[in-house]
């Protein structure tokens, strides 16, 4: 039967053959897990995703969110699968067992989450979003706060959110106006308005715990003066039961381009002057605390986009195998020749391989970064831990934005494969394209991720972290050189990696020079070519593993899969990578037109 949502053979290849995840399972904290149990968990997740969650994707999109006098109803069809998610404790899979989670290895929870997000992102996130809230409370909360909130958030009985955005404070969070006034009992009274809050209000749980960014009266402007508060929808009594309603209300939900099943709420705090919040951590360290959740959410956003792209690609390739249209090119003049499935047409094949190369490259990139996070925490030596923790930190803007942008492009190309049918709502690819678009906007837009890479990440530790990325690429290139097939591709990837090193130096220097604005005018193309080069690296790595398996003699059923890996790498490296080299030349040349054009020169006046 055709694969749905995520190609399982490919996922297994990435986890076990490319990333060699079995070596991670040797760590004591994973003693409950072996390859067999990991495979079983992923299989169970796939079944839940396909059988129970996927059927709600289109229906949830159609019915959408209903708002009535402060209350919000999710699509009716969400209730039953939401209960199944909580009964199976799927939402707590990655969480620490000490907090009530399952403690699954990162690659297992990522694989399961990819199935869930591909099946219905809007639905799954009602259950899973609280993890970030709980983690922050665990890291910075008092023992009382931990006891009061964490267990019920982890179990999914209560939801969790993140309240940063205000109408005049989007990308510039430091401009926020929500204020907090200290009360005699040590609590704070909050007042302000937040917008675009995912899951800010809904009917899937008893209580919602809101981490809210606000400024304590008298604290300095900008991000330095921001603190973070726990604001529960219902107060929690000392015995753990729910108390009165707090003064935080939903004043409306957005009508959006996509994600119609996801409640994007406007929240008013303190309209009656009684919104009580509890300081989390110490005053003015709100951004530091919130970044624990933001960084996790950036990884999750990348995965969201990848999951959409993965599902859209599988739909497209299977449609192309079935849709009969047109004759083979060699039968061009023969009117009696039979029509063929569109997968036989060279341009459709090119498009499918274009999509496959990105989906495969992004799948490997995501699992590579997941393994960096694991090795950064559990590596055997201090040196290993530091190296991989640094790589993880540096590549966070890249995984977030590259997957968002390319994931969306893959969804758009899936529509192209379907032709007119793709543009219609009877087929799911247009929904994936709509749902996916948000990923390059929330959790920091593309422009903000690009600035983060250029201003903060590139120069980390005098550029040594970036150099270690290039070293990692070079290890794969050296391996590829020794194997027939990939060896013919190694030189191109090496040239791209070297060129990326040169461009990075040039961009780093420019960012510190009087021409710094020019550097920032090219920061997004720069972030893009980092991702493009990582794709080439990941695909070469895949091809090397595949060629090794073929050389060692593999099962007949796997031959096409492995040969497909080599062809995918060849396609990307020989047809897309040259464009990337051109983009790198343009970045280095640094055309100043975007800065020099007069505001009025943009036209439209």
Is the Cβ of residue 265 or residue 538 nearer to ligand FAD in the bound state? 265
| CB 400 to ligand FAD: min, Å | 12
Residues 443-482 binding ligand FAD (CB under 6 A) are 444-445, 447-448, 451
Q: How far apart are CA 416 and CA 409, in angstroms?
A: 11
How far apart are alpha carbons 269 and 286 in whole angstroms? 18
Question: C-beta of 441: minimal distance to ligand FAD in Å?
Answer: 6
Closest separation between CB of residue 294 and ligand FAD, Å? 9
**Nearest distance in Å: CB 259, ligand FAD:** 6
Region of 231 on the Ramachandran plot (φ > 0 left; ψ -120 to 50 alpha; else beta): beta
Which residues, 6+ apart, have CB-to-CB distance to 565 below 8 Å? 13, 360, 539, 542, 543, 545, 546
Stretch that binds ligand FAD, among 109-117, 164-172, 245-253, 346-354 (CB under 6 A): 164-172
Distance of CA 92 to the CA centre of its chain: 18
Question: Which is nearer to ligand FAD, 448 or 577 (by Cβ)?
Answer: 448
Alpha-carbon torsion 73, 77, 78, 81, what sign?
positive
Residue 68: strand, helix, or coil:
strand
Q: Which is nearer to ligand FAD, 40 or 595 (CB)?
A: 595
- Report the residue from 24, 154, 438, 480 that binds ligand FAD according to the rule CB under 6 A: 438
Site membership for ligand FAD, residue 442 (CB under 6 A) = yes
Q: Please, what is the minimum distance in Å from the beta carbon of residue 1 to ligand FAD?
A: 34
Helix extents (H) in 323-424:
346-378, 382-418
Identify whether 177 is a catalytic site residue: no
Candidates 113, 164, 276, 348: give the one binding ligand FAD (CB under 6 A): 164
In the complex, the smallest distance separating the C-beta of residue 520 from ligand FAD, rounded to whole angstroms, is 8
Nearer to ligand FAD, 159 or 361 (CB): 159
By beta-carbon proximity to ligand FAD, the closer residue of 406 and 499 is: 406
Closer residue to ligand FAD, CB minimum distance, 26 or 224: 224
Residue 17, Cβ density class (10 Å: 0-12 exposed, 13-18 middle, ≥19 buried):
middle
The yes or no reply on residue 300 touching ligand FAD (CB under 6 A) is: no
Please tell me whether residue 162 binds ligand FAD under the rule CB under 6 A. Answer: yes
Smallest separation (angstroms) from ligand FAD to the CB of 410: 20
- Counting Cβ atoms within 10 Å, is residue 3 exposed (0-12), middle (13-18) or buried (19+)? middle
Residues 6+ apart with CB under 8 A from 177: 166, 168, 169, 192, 215
User: Closer to ligand FAD at the Cβ: 148 or 162?
Assistant: 162
Nearest CB to ligand FAD, comparing residues 196 and 402: 196
Which residues face 245 on adjacent strands? Answer: 234
Span from 110-118, 160-168, 359-367, 528-536 in contact with ligand FAD (CB under 6 A): 160-168
**b/e per residue 523-559 (b: at least 16 CB within 10 A):** bbbbbbbbbbbbbbbbbbbbbbbbbbbbeeeeeeeee
Of the residues 443, 472, 494, 570, only one is catalytic, namely: 443
Rounded to whole angstroms, how far apart are CA atoms 209 and 162?
9
Nearer to ligand FAD, 213 or 372 (CB): 213
Pick out residues in 242-271 that bind ligand FAD (CB under 6 A): 256, 259, 264
Q: Who's near 225: CB < 8 A, 6+ residues apart?
A: 215, 216, 219, 284
Nearer to ligand FAD, 307 or 371 (CB): 307
The piece of 194-202, 378-386, 534-542, 585-593 that touches ligand FAD (CB under 6 A) is 194-202
Asked whether the CA dihedral 254, 255, 258, 260 is positive or negative, the reply is positive
Segment contacting ligand FAD by CB under 6 A, of 41-49, 222-230, 270-278, 441-449: 441-449
Residue nearest to ligand FAD (CB): 170
Which listed residue (165, 363, 413, 476) binds ligand FAD by CB under 6 A?
165
Is residue 533 a contact residue for ligand FAD (CB under 6 A)? no
Least distance (Å) from ligand FAD to the CB of residue 194? 7
Q: Binding ligand FAD by CB under 6 A: which of 197, 248, 342, 373?
A: 197
- Positive or negative: CA dihedral 147, 151, 154, 157: negative
Residues in 323-342 at the binding interface with ligand FAD, rule: CB under 6 A: none
Strands 264-269, 248-253: pairing is antiparallel
Applying CB under 6 A, the site for ligand FAD has a residue count of 20
Among 148, 163, 490, 529, binds ligand FAD (CB under 6 A): 163
Rounded to a whole number of angstroms, the minimum distance from the CB of residue 199 to ligand FAD is: 7
Whole-number Å distance between alpha carbons of 90 and 95: 10
Tokens of 251: 């004043």
Q: Please, what is the minimum distance in Å from the beta carbon of residue 139 to ligand FAD?
A: 19
The answer to whether 92 and 131 are in contact (CB under 8 A) is yes
Among residues 64, 130, 159, 170, which is the contact residue for ligand FAD, using CB under 6 A?
A: 170
| Candidate segments 2-10, 175-183, 193-201, 375-383, binder of ligand FAD by CB under 6 A | 193-201
Contact 109, 190 (CB under 8 A): no
Check residue 441 for interaction with ligand FAD (CB under 6 A). Answer: yes
Among 341, 466, 322, 312, residue whose Cα is nearest residue 394? 466
**With binding defined as CB under 6 A, does residue 171 bind ligand FAD?**
yes
Block residue for tokens 């020169």: 601
φ/ψ region of 140 (left if φ > 0, alpha if ψ in -120 to 50, else beta) reads alpha
Question: Cβ closer to ligand FAD: 229 or 442?
Answer: 442
Q: How far is the CB of 60 from ligand FAD (least distance, A)?
A: 15
Phi, psi torsion values for 576, nearest 5 degrees: -95, -40
HEC profile for 495-522? HHHHHHHHHHHHHHHHHCCCCHHHHHHC
Which residues form the catalytic set?
443
The residues that touch ligand FAD, with contacts defined as CB under 6 A, are: 162-165, 170-171, 196-198, 256, 259, 264, 438, 441-442, 444-445, 447-448, 451
């Amino acid at each position: 039967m055709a694969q749905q949502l995520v190609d399982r053979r490919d996922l297994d290849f990435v986890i076990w053959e490319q990333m060699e995840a079995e070596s991670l399972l040797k760590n004591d904290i994973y003693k409950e897990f072996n390859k067999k149990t990991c495979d079983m968990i992923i299989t169970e997740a796939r079944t839940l995703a396909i059988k129970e969650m996927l059927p709600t994707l289109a229906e949830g999109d159609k019915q959408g969110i209903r708002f009535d006098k402060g209350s919000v109803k999710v699509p009716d069809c969400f209730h039953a699968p939401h209960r199944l998610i909580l009964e199976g404790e799927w939402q707590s899979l990655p969480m620490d067992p000490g907090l009530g989670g399952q403690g699954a290895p990162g690659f297992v929870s990522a694989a399961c989450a990819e199935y869930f997000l591909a099946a219905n992102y809007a639905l799954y996130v009602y259950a899973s979003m609280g993890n970030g809230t709980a983690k922050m409370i665990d890291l910075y909360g008092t023992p009382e706060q931990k006891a009061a909130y964490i267990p019920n958030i982890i179990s999914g009985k209560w939801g969790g959110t993140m309240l940063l955005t205000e109408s005049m404070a989007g990308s510039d969070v430091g401009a926020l106006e929500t204020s907090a006034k200290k009360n005699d009992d040590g609590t704070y009274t909050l007042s302000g308005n937040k917008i675009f809050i995912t899951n800010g209000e809904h009917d899937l749980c008893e209580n919602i715990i809101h981490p809210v960014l606000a400024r304590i009266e008298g604290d300095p402007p900008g991000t330095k003066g921001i603190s973070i508060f726990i604001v529960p929808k219902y107060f929690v009594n000392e015995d753990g039961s729910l108390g009165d309603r707090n003064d935080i209300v939903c004043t409306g939900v957005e009508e959006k381009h996509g994600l119609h099943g996801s409640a994007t709420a406007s929240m008013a705090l303190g309209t009656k002057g009684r919104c009580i919040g509890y300081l989390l951590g110490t005053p003015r360290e709100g951004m530091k605390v919130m970044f624990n959740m933001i960084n996790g959410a950036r990884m999750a956003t990348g995965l969201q986009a990848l999951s959409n792209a993965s599902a859209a690609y599988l739909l497209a390739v299977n449609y192309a195998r079935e849709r009969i249209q047109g004759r083979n090119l060699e039968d061009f003049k023969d009117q009696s020749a039979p029509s063929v499935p569109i997968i036989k047409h060279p341009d459709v094949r090119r498009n499918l391989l274009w999509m496959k190369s990105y989906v495969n490259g992004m799948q490997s990139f995501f699992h590579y970064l997941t393994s960096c996070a694991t090795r950064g925490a559990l590596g055997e030596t201090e040196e290993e831990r530091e190296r991989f923790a640094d790589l993880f930190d540096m590549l966070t803007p890249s995984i977030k934005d590259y997957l968002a942008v390319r994931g969306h492009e893959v969804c758009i190309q899936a529509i192209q494969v379907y032709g007119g049918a793709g543009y219609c709502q009877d087929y799911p690819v247009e929904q994936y394209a709509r749902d996916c678009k948000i990923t390059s906007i929330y959790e920091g837009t593309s422009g903000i991720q690009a600035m983060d890479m250029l201003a903060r990440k590139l120069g980390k530790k005098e550029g040594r972290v970036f150099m270690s990325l290039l070293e990692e690429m070079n290890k794969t290139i050296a391996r590829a050189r020794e194997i027939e097939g990939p060896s013919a591709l190694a030189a191109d990837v090496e040239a791209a990696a070297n060129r990326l090193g040169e461009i990075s130096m040039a961009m780093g220097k420019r960012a510190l020079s009087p021409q710094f604005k020019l550097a920032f005018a090219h920061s997004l193309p720069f972030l893009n070519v980092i991702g493009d080069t990582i794709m080439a690296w990941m695909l070469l790595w895949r091809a090397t593993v595949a060629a090794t398996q073929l050389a060692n003699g593999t099962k007949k059923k796997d031959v096409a899969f492995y040969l497909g890996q080599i062809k995918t790498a060849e396609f990307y490296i020989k047809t897309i990578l040259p464009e990337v080299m051109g983009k790198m030349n343009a970045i280095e040349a640094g055309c100043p037109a975007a800065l020099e054009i007069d505001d009025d020169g943009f036209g439209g006046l």
